[in-house]
């Protein structure tokens, strides 16, 4: 009681056998944001482990004198309102994302104590990836993991930690490993990683274990204060309401059912040295922004009279053919010529050799949408893309097909089609990789939308290898020359891609 104030406004209630004393850590707000008659108490159900865990954390922070340096990241779940109680810096994040948010906070404010507070649904279901990667990176945060073997807030659905045989609204016959798998043991999983410095599981089953929980919570916070590394305390915690038990029975259930499945243990307690060699040069955000601003200001801007007010280009092919890069180059060229531009990639999960396409807008006005659903120009680097997108091309638009001739049964009467065997030309130049630059040359020559000189400027800034740059220059020229000397312009689509 020495360090914690007795709340004066509530009179002490005397019962026959004992006095009820409302007391709480000074680290809690004096009053909670609740209805007037509930301002002295939390919203947690009687006997809920969240209340006890809050008290243990608050007392530890108070005793460590770190209230003003603490940032608490609250989860989604019954404890979502932790920020109504803890008088510290508070952030409330999306479901499961506390370790990711805590990572950012700690990296931005390394001198602060950053705590993530999470339930088992939050941490071990929707947030599994975040906790594993934060632990694996050895983020210097403390995570308090309140495991009550159920989703409390949403009315008792099965959690990853629900015990085998335990009933929940989504496992009404009891959890069956054959159907729902086994409970996840987060401490054991995290202890298989190299970076964490402290991992302990404790239980709120009886006073002795609550005292152990108190020690574990303090130890984790002390380690963070001393800059040690990733610390994690799992707290087996009663949820009397969802378990349909009174608070005493619920505590017994923690002891008798939960602890055998989730053994209490210190899984990790050692100082870990994470190698910190090869440190990249550090720049502040201001320096980075300034550098970027200067690069843009220094870039030569070739203001050019463009014959269009807006040009939508769709570039499609297989992943690996450089279709996305071609779009980026065009967008960058557009910027250099003072146009508004956008570039929007779209590719399947397979990336390399799967189909990929991108949308490029070049415009004199601000771009309304980066999506090009009715392109003026379609660059199709393979037959699949040609067939897929040709019908989208606007009447009078252009199809630039990256093969020698169009498929025999193909027609897109609304558009002009020009064929250019880009891969073949690139091969002859010495590398199939520059087929996209051959196509770029053809596109610039055919549409005159941007200047070839700007194309070379952009390539010069992107391609550092002199041999490759020379190859790109040749590819650009080859594409232009092919259009000038080999292709008849003004054609309507014929099977061979040439004019009638």
Ligand X SMILES: Cc1ncc(C[n+]2csc(CCOP(=O)(O)OP(=O)(O)O)c2C)c(N)n1
Q: Which residues bind ligand X (CB under 6 A)?
A: 76-79, 95, 119-122, 148, 150-154, 159
Can you tell me the distance from the alpha carbon of 405 to that of 28, in angstroms, rounded to the nearest whole number? Answer: 75
Question: Which residues in 76-185 belong to E strands, given as ranges?
Answer: 89-92, 113-119, 142-147
Can you tell me the distance from the alpha carbon of 239 to that of 253, in angstroms, rounded to the nearest whole number? Answer: 10
Can you tell me the distance from the alpha carbon of 363 to that of 306, in angstroms, rounded to the nearest whole number? Answer: 9
Of 42 and 447, CB closest to ligand SF4: 42
Of 147 and 224, CB closest to ligand SF4: 147
Can you tell me the distance from the alpha carbon of 31 to that of 41, in angstroms, rounded to the nearest whole number? Answer: 8
DSSP 494: -
Cβ 180 to ligand SF4, closest distance in Å? 20
Select from ligand X, ligand SF4, none the partner in contact with residue 71, using the beta carbon and a kind-dependent cut-off of 5 to 8 Å: none
Q: Which residue's Cβ has the minimum distance to ligand X?
A: 119
Buried-state track 302-334, b at ≥16 Cβ within 10 A, e below 16: eebebeeeebbbbbbbbbebbbbbbbbbbbbbb
Among 156, 250, 163, smallest CA distance to 203 is for: 250
Select from ligand SF4, ligand X, none the partner in contact with residue 45, using the beta carbon and a kind-dependent cut-off of 5 to 8 Å: ligand SF4
Of 71 and 239, CB closest to ligand SF4: 239
Residue written as token pair 């008290």: 55
Residue written as token pair 């949403």: 154
Can you tell me the distance from the alpha carbon of 168 to that of 188, in angstroms, rounded to the nearest whole number? Answer: 24
Cβ 420 to ligand X, closest distance in Å? 49
* Length of the chain in terms of residues written: 500
DSSP 279: P
Write phi, then psi, for 230 (nearest 5 degrees).
-70, 125
294 exposed, middle or buried (CB, 10 Å; 0-12, 13-18, 19+)? exposed
Cβ 155 to ligand X, closest distance in Å? 9
Cβ 235 to ligand X, closest distance in Å? 11
Select from ligand X, ligand SF4, none the partner in contact with residue 240, using the beta carbon and a kind-dependent cut-off of 5 to 8 Å: ligand SF4
Of 87 and 120, CB closest to ligand X: 120
Select from ligand X, ligand SF4, none the partner in contact with residue 48, using the beta carbon and a kind-dependent cut-off of 5 to 8 Å: ligand SF4
Cβ 383 to ligand X, closest distance in Å? 42
Of 50 and 97, CB closest to ligand SF4: 50
Torsion angle of C-alpha atoms 409, 413, 414, 417, degrees rounded to 10: 70
Select from ligand X, ligand SF4, none the partner in contact with residue 44, using the beta carbon and a kind-dependent cut-off of 5 to 8 Å: ligand SF4
Of 78 and 124, CB closest to ligand SF4: 78
Select from ligand SF4, ligand X, none the partner in contact with residue 120, using the beta carbon and a kind-dependent cut-off of 5 to 8 Å: ligand X
Strand bridging mode 142-147 / 231-236: parallel
Select from ligand SF4, ligand X, none the partner in contact with residue 151, using the beta carbon and a kind-dependent cut-off of 5 to 8 Å: ligand X
Cβ 149 to ligand SF4, closest distance in Å? 10
Question: Which residues in 78-177 belong to E strands, given as ranges?
Answer: 89-92, 113-119, 142-147
Of 238 and 317, CB closest to ligand SF4: 238
What pairs with residue 201 in β-bridges?
234, 265
R_g over Cα of the chain: 32
Select from ligand SF4, ligand X, none the partner in contact with residue 441, using the beta carbon and a kind-dependent cut-off of 5 to 8 Å: none
Select from ligand X, ligand SF4, none the partner in contact with residue 159, using the beta carbon and a kind-dependent cut-off of 5 to 8 Å: ligand X
Cβ 208 to ligand X, closest distance in Å? 24
Chain mean position to CA 91: 18
Select from ligand SF4, ligand X, none the partner in contact with residue 154, using the beta carbon and a kind-dependent cut-off of 5 to 8 Å: ligand X
Cβ–Cβ contacts within 10 Å for residue 26, how many?
14
* Interface ranges with ligand SF4 (CB under 6 A): 44-45, 48, 50, 78, 148, 152-153, 239-242
Select from ligand SF4, ligand X, none the partner in contact with residue 241, using the beta carbon and a kind-dependent cut-off of 5 to 8 Å: ligand SF4
Of 153 and 302, CB closest to ligand SF4: 153
Cβ 236 to ligand X, closest distance in Å? 12
Of 48 and 341, CB closest to ligand SF4: 48
Greatest pairwise CA separation for the chain in angstroms: 106
Cβ 146 to ligand X, closest distance in Å? 6
Cβ 66 to ligand X, closest distance in Å? 25
Residues 6+ apart with CB under 8 A from 433: 322, 426
Of 223 and 233, CB closest to ligand X: 233
Of 240 and 322, CB closest to ligand SF4: 240
Cβ 57 to ligand X, closest distance in Å? 15
Write phi, then psi, for 112 (nearest 5 degrees).
-90, 155
């Amino acid at each position: 009681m020495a360090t914690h104030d007795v709340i004066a406004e509530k009179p002490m209630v005397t019962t026959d056998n004992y006095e009820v004393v409302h007391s709480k850590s000074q680290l809690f707000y004096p009053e909670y944001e609740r209805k007037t008659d509930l301002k002295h108490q939390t919203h947690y159900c009687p006997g809920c482990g969240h209340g006890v865990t809050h008290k243990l954390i608050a007392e530890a922070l108070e005793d460590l004198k770190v209230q003003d340096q603490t940032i608490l990241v609250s989860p989604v779940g019954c404890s979502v309102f932790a920020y109504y109680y803890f008088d510290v810096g508070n952030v409330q994040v999306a479901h499961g994302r506390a370790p990711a948010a805590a990572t950012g906070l700690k990296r931005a404010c390394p001198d602060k104590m950053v705590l993530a507070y999470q339930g088992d649904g939050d941490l071990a279901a929707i947030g599994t990836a975040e906790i594993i990667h934060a632990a694996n990176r050895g983020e210097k945060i403390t995570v308090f993991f309140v495991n009550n073997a159920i989703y409390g807030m949403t009315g008792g659905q099965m959690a990853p930690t629900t015990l085998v045989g335990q009933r929940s609204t989504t496992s009404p016959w009891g959890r069956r490993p054959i159907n729902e798998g086994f409970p996840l043991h987060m401490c054991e999983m995290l202890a298989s990683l190299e970076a964490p410095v402290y991992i302990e599981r404790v239980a709120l089953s009886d006073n002795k274990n609550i005292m152990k929980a108190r020690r574990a919570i303090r130890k984790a916070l002390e380690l963070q204060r001393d800059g040690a590394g990733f610390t994690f305390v799992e707290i087996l915690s009663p949820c009397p309401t969802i378990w349909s038990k009174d608070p005493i029975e619920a505590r017994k259930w923690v002891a008798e059912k939960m602890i055998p499945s989730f053994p209490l243990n210190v899984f990790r307690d050692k100082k870990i040295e994470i190698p910190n060699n090869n440190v990249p040069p550090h720049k502040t955000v201001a320096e980075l922004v300034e550098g970027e601003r200067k690069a843009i200001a220094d870039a030569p801007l070739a203001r050019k009279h463009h014959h269009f007010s807006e040009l939508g280009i769709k570039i499609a092919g297989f992943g690996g053919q450089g279709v996305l890069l071609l779009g980026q180059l065009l967008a960058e060229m557009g910027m250099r010529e003072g146009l508004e531009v956008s570039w929007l990639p779209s590719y399947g999960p397979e990336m390399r050799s799967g189909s990929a396409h991108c949308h490029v807008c070049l415009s004199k006005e601000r771009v309304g949408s980066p999506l090009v659903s009715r392109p003026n120009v379609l660059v199709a680097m393979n037959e699949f893309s040609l067939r897929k997108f040709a019908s989208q091309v606007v009447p009078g638009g252009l199809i630039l097909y990256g093969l020698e001739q169009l498929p025999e049964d193909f027609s897109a009467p609304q558009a002009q089609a020009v064929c250019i065997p880009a891969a073949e030309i690139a091969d002859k130049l010495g590398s199939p990789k520059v087929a996209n630059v051959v196509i770029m040359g053809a596109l610039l020559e055919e549409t005159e939308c941007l200047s070839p000189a700007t194309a070379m400027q952009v390539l010069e800034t992107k391609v550092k290898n002199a041999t490759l740059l020379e190859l790109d220059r040749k590819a650009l020229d080859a594409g232009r020359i092919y259009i000038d000397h080999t292709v008849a312009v003004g054609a309507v689509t014929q099977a061979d891609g040439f004019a009638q």
